[in-house]
Chains A and B, each alone.
Chain A
Amino acid sequence: MTLFNTLLLREWLQYKRAWIGLVLGPVLLLLALVPFSQVEGIDTPAPEPVALIAGLVTVALVLVLTVVLCGYQLMGLARRDQQDRSIEFWASLPGSHAASLGAPLLAHGLLVPLAATALAVLGGALIGAIMAFKEFGLAALHQTQWAVLLQVTIWMGLRLLVGLAVAALWLAPFVVALMAASAWLKRWGAPLLFIAVAAFLKIYKNEPAAEALARLLTRQVGGAAQAMFLGAQTLLLKDEGREHVGLQEFFDALFRLPEVARDTVPEVLQLMAQPQFIGGLVFAALCFGLLVLQRKRSL
């Protein structure tokens, strides 16, 4: 385990600046924008909606940036050590090729998104509080239901983390397959695989094989989407043609949020018991085997 942890430490040492910037950048930017910001769409002057919306914007921004950055880095990871020739240094030390590839995959594919989300929730809470202070002043903050907001933040954070971890596993077959394509076919590998699958689906549109593949891919993406958003629809505030959402409706949703999060976590985990999910992981493991094979061949 020391060896694997050290390989994770290597990722931290190599990418810490990018990762810190990934979280701190958006949080500091949003903090800087607080004096010029305004929350619209809620017609009642209460600090809780303002704080919550500002917090959600922060989390969403960090999450999107993290997914984009980690996805980009994962595509390059397959040939990273070959490109800078350091592969011979790493291969001269004890440790398997699987560990050398597994550690960065775990770091960029799971640990960084989870850590970034957790920190974004904290940053979002801070920005939310500052935004509420800016909108309503100190007096309003005294009347804010901090206990409820804290509970909501904790449960929302937990739900996001579980959803993100499970979604990452649902998406693992895509990610590792693209990485394997990058490893074997160099920089054009991932685009080529993407184009090949898209072309197959287009050309053989009504053929059973293409339909089966399309179903498979849709279910896999659907699994990831469910992992992230299952239960979210019950929290949606009804529009009913109005411009603004009522305070009562908002608080109803707010009070329901911890319960929805609590209830959907086991449901999200249960989704992993499907053959589709397990099949996806087996496929990802096969692609990982291709990555290991290519790393061995490159030495």
Chain B
Amino acid sequence: MNTLIDAKHLSLRYGRKAALQDLTFTIPAGRVVGLLGHNGAGKTSLMKTLVGLKRPEGELRVLGLDPHTQRGQLLTSLCYIPDVAVLPRWARAGELIRLMEGLQPRFSADRARQLLKRTSVTESDRVRHLSKGMVTQLHLALVAAIDAKLMILDEPTLGLDVMSRKSFYEMLIDEWCDGERSVLISTHQVEEVESLLSDVMMLDEGRLVLNISLAEMDQRFVALSHDPDAAEAVAASHPLLRYRVQGRPAALFDGVAPDTIAHLGQRVRPSLVDLFMALTRKPEIQASTPESA
């Protein structure tokens, strides 16, 4: 199975409020996908929908299964970290390994113990006595010991210091990603995950405003770093975003910069953060219609 997630016209409402609006996307095997969006953009709702905790409208298949009606079966082949603070505080790490062994058929206790040794957490440590970073490491060690095809991480490093965040992502990439498995990570720390990602999805007010591989992103979006004198001419070309790169003004375009201004500056690679800012300020730009911008 090459396509792990196949969503067509996915929508979710909380009463009158639309959390997800007509999302259509696929996630193939072997990808590390970043799910970006502001608070309230619909990231958590999408993730909960993908793991069967919310029932959406539209068509959704995850690992070939309907997440809502086949949730139990789906969760045997999928790992999900909903938040950093959800491990039961009364439990010891070793007890969690015992419990996971009985609850998750694809879980390997030996593998979990092996992964735990990479962290500063011991089996006798109680969750309530661990720092946030250690809890996250423990949680990742537990879920990474599941022989699953897909991992879904909902802001897993929220509230962690930079060292803990780095260790988390190192462990994720080194110990879990093998080229066949896919990961979907939602995060606000866009800069830190950029180097890990193969693809990016951006949500804005429940709409998917971008769904693209990073390789395509480099080809499609162009930034022009220019002198302050050229600012007016650049602004007249209607860039997606005007910002600063290393103290110099810059403008971000969907597609190559118009010929009239291309000579006014130097082409630079736009960062994911800049693109995120540009697209979530302009939600009318749709992922499937790059030409329309």
The answer to the question of B244 belonging to the interface, with a C-beta cut-off of 8 Å to chain A, is no
A5 to B103, CA, bound (A): 9
| Among candidates A3, A5, A89, A91, residue contacting B88 with C-beta atoms closer than 8 Å | A89
Chain B residues with CB under 8 A of A14: 88, 90-91
A278 to B240, CA, bound (A): 68
Q: B93-134 toward A: CB 8 Å interface, digit per residue (1/0)?
A: 001001111111100000000000000000000000000000
Given contacts A13-B91, A13-B95, A299-B48, A88 and B102 within 8 Å (CB-CB) = no
Given contacts A13-B91, A13-B95, A92-B81, A299 and B53 within 8 Å (CB-CB) = yes
The answer to the question of B258 belonging to the interface, with a C-beta cut-off of 8 Å to chain A, is no
Given contacts A94-B76, A96-B72, A3 and B102 within 8 Å (CB-CB) = yes
A95 to B71, CA, bound (A): 9
A84, B53: Cβ atoms closer than 8 Å? no
The answer to the question of A10 belonging to the interface, with a C-beta cut-off of 8 Å to chain B, is yes
Interface residues in B57-72 by Cβ distance below 8 A to A read 72
A142 to B26, CA, bound (A): 82
B82, A9: Cβ atoms closer than 8 Å? no
The answer to the question of B86 belonging to the interface, with a C-beta cut-off of 8 Å to chain A, is yes
Closest-CB distance, B121 to chain A (whole angstroms) = 16
Q: A208-241 toward B: CB 8 Å interface, digit per residue (1/0)?
A: 0000000000000000000000000000000000
| Among candidates B91, B101, B104, residue contacting A94 with C-beta atoms closer than 8 Å | B104
Closest-CB distance, B218 to chain A (whole angstroms) = 34
Interface residues in A69-105 by Cβ distance below 8 A to B read 84-89, 91-96
A86, B86: Cβ atoms closer than 8 Å? yes
B53, A6: Cβ atoms closer than 8 Å? no
* SS class, residues of chain A in contact with chain B: helix
A286 to B27, CA, bound (A): 40
Q: A1-28 toward B: CB 8 Å interface, digit per residue (1/0)?
A: 0110111011001100000000000000
Chain B residues with CB under 8 A of A95: 72, 75, 103
Tell me how many residue pairs across A and B have CB atoms closer than 8 Å.
Answer: 65
Chain B residues with CB under 8 A of A92: 51, 75, 79-82, 86
A89, B87: Cβ atoms closer than 8 Å? yes
B86, A6: Cβ atoms closer than 8 Å? no
Given contacts A6-B99, A6-B102, A10-B99, A86 and B87 within 8 Å (CB-CB) = yes
Interface residues in B237-251 by Cβ distance below 8 A to A read none
Closest-CB distance, A17 to chain B (whole angstroms) = 10
Q: Which residue of A lies closest to B92 (CB)?
A: A13
B102, A91: Cβ atoms closer than 8 Å? no
The size of the chain A interface, using a CB distance under 8 A, is 22
Interface size class of B (residues with CB under 8 A): 20 to 34
A88, B82: Cβ atoms closer than 8 Å? yes
Q: A270-293 toward B: CB 8 Å interface, digit per residue (1/0)?
A: 000000000000000000000000
Chain B residues with CB under 8 A of A85: 83, 85-86
Identify which of B79, B102, B104 gathers the most chain A CB atoms within 10 Å of its CB: B102
The answer to the question of B9 belonging to the interface, with a C-beta cut-off of 8 Å to chain A, is no
Closest-CB distance, B158 to chain A (whole angstroms) = 13
Identify which of A9, A85, A88, A89 gathers the most chain B CB atoms within 10 Å of its CB: A89
Closest-CB distance, B31 to chain A (whole angstroms) = 21
The answer to the question of B89 belonging to the interface, with a C-beta cut-off of 8 Å to chain A, is yes
A84, B88: Cβ atoms closer than 8 Å? yes
Q: B23-58 toward A: CB 8 Å interface, digit per residue (1/0)?
A: 000000000000000000000000010010100000
A86 to B87, CA, bound (A): 5
| Among candidates A86, A87, A93, A299, residue contacting B104 with C-beta atoms closer than 8 Å | A93
Q: Which residue of B lies closest to A89 (CB)?
A: B86
| Among candidates A5, A86, A94, residue contacting B72 with C-beta atoms closer than 8 Å | A94
Chain A residues with CB under 8 A of B75: 92-95
Closest-CB distance, A21 to chain B (whole angstroms) = 16
A88, B86: Cβ atoms closer than 8 Å? yes
A6 to B98, CA, bound (A): 8
Given contacts A94-B72, A94-B75, A299-B53, A86 and B105 within 8 Å (CB-CB) = no
B87, A6: Cβ atoms closer than 8 Å? no
A5 to B99, CA, bound (A): 10
7 examples of A-B residue contacts, CB within 8 angstroms: A5-B102, A9-B102, A86-B87, A89-B82, A89-B88, A94-B104, A94-B105
Please name 9 further chain A to chain B contacts, defined as beta carbons within 8 Å, in addition to the given A13-B95, A13-B98, A92-B75, sorted by A numbering.
Answer: A6-B101, A6-B102, A13-B99, A14-B90, A86-B89, A87-B86, A93-B103, A94-B103, A96-B72
* 5 nearest CB pairs, A to B: A6-B102, A86-B88, A88-B82, A92-B80, A88-B86
- Residues on A lying within 8 angstroms of B by beta carbon are 2-3, 5-7, 9-10, 13-14, 84-89, 91-96, 299
